[in-house]
Amino acid sequence: MKSANDSNYFSQLAAINVNDHVERKGQFSYLSWPFAVSQLRQFDPQATWEVKRFGDLPYLTSDAGCFVEVAVTVRGVTLSQIHPVLDGKNRPILAPTSFEINTSLQRCLVKAIALHGLGLYIYAGEDLPQGTEEKSDEPVAGEKPQGAATIPVPIRQTKAISTAQIAQLERLLDETKGDRVRLLAYFGAETLADAQIADLYVFDGSDGILVEIVRDEAAMAAIRAAWEVFQRYLDTDTPPPLTDRDTVARTDPAWQLAAGLYLQAKQEADKAAEALEKARERLVGLASHASENGDGVTVTRFWKQGSVDYKKVPELKGVDLDRYRKAGGVEVRVTVTK
């Protein structure tokens, strides 16, 4: 025998507010299918659904178009929904691809779940229900005079539209020559450029994750400042200096021994180089001819041509010289820091 809660499960599912998970395409509203399935399984872990087969195919082809059917069972009650295979403008597709069939199946699944109550109101052909906030007497920006069509209630009253939504809205406005004022009011925004949320999607080739990033003015200012510094390195063809973050600190005995030996040898080499330069200057000062030799040492004077400044060659302007560059290699530089 079913309990009162079982018999009233429709009311429980219908009472769930799904506004923050509604997606819109043009004038049509869609409920996110992962959210719908998650809510359904949390409500009834035994809930099941079945994609109806038409022979060996998960869709039916007719002169009117292609159709799919999904049946969902909740608390022992099975309800099925038929859904046409439609394109991005909700027009029938006579020869759908596997992707289009799969998309239609997901939408059909959500609508079959809605028959049990979850998110049913978004398919009622009416605006989404208002929140519990008190209604403001202040006029909406860009509101039309009394007697004109009313401004619809925003679907998200506490969350601004994302950059991805902005791009979609711009395209839809151009295609439909829609009313921009009404659309902005609907999404609770003053301008389409006033996005407070960005959608970051990371995909590794087989799986992906969608992250919602809220606008942060301080972070944006820091990013702009860092980019300007980086741009200066590009403009001057100068690599940025390494920072402490780029350096690994070594304190192990083997490193300390090698570093000590290097410092000692470096000091001796520097003294020898200084003595060598003084002796060279003395020899050059004694030589007055083009070439002089004695005691195993020769001092020769010769003419050396200057290097070519390739940046000043007009024929090379606009030529990508990097394509003629030899393969790079790793060079090691040892620096004394104390």
pTM flag (> 0.85) = no
Compute the distance between CA of residue 266 and CA of residue 257 in angstroms, rounded to an integer.
14
Same-domain status, 224 and 163: no
Q: Residue 290 falls within a domain, yes or no?
A: no
Is 60's pLDDT higher than 90?
yes
Compute the distance between CA of residue 299 and CA of residue 288 in angstroms, rounded to an integer.
9
How much is the average pLDDT of 162-170?
62
- Under the banding of pLDDT at 50, 70 and 90, the label for residue 236 is confident
Q: Residue 85 falls within a domain, yes or no?
A: yes
Same-domain status, 111 and 168: no
Compute the distance between CA of residue 34 and CA of residue 285 in angstroms, rounded to an integer.
87
Same-domain status, 119 and 73: yes
90's enclosing H/E stretch is none
Which one, of 331, 330, 311, lies nearest residue 321 by Cα?
311
At residue 325, the pLDDT reads: 80
- Under the banding of pLDDT at 50, 70 and 90, the label for residue 162 is low
Q: Residue 303 falls within a domain, yes or no?
A: no
Q: What is the CATH number of the domain that holds 57?
A: 3.30.160.20
Q: Residue 224 falls within a domain, yes or no?
A: yes
- Under the banding of pLDDT at 50, 70 and 90, the label for residue 18 is confident
Same-domain status, 208 and 231: no
Same-domain status, 107 and 180: no
Mean pLDDT of the chain: 79
How much is the average pLDDT of 307-316?
88
Same-domain status, 125 and 6: yes
Compute the distance between CA of residue 133 and CA of residue 85 in angstroms, rounded to an integer.
38
Q: Residue 305 falls within a domain, yes or no?
A: no
Same-domain status, 16 and 100: yes
Q: Please tell me the total count of domains within the chain.
A: 3
CA angle 236, 237, 241 (to 5 degrees): 95
Using CB atoms within 10 Å of the CB of residue 49, give its burial: 0 to 12 exposed, 13 to 18 middle, 19+ buried: middle
User: Which residues of 52-196 form beta strands (DSSP E)?
Assistant: 60-62, 65-74, 77-84
Token code pair at residue 205: 């080739």
Q: Residue 135 falls within a domain, yes or no?
A: no
Compute the distance between CA of residue 85 and CA of residue 75 in angstroms, rounded to an integer.
29
Q: Residue 137 falls within a domain, yes or no?
A: no
Q: Domain limits at 86?
A: 1-129
Compute the distance between CA of residue 212 and CA of residue 197 in angstroms, rounded to an integer.
7
Same-domain status, 74 and 176: no
Using CB atoms within 10 Å of the CB of residue 135, give its burial: 0 to 12 exposed, 13 to 18 middle, 19+ buried: exposed
Is 128's pLDDT higher than 60?
no
How much is the average pLDDT of 305-321?
86
Same-domain status, 223 and 194: no
Same-domain status, 123 and 167: no
Q: Residue 249 falls within a domain, yes or no?
A: no
Same-domain status, 1 and 122: yes
337's enclosing H/E stretch is none
Same-domain status, 107 and 208: no
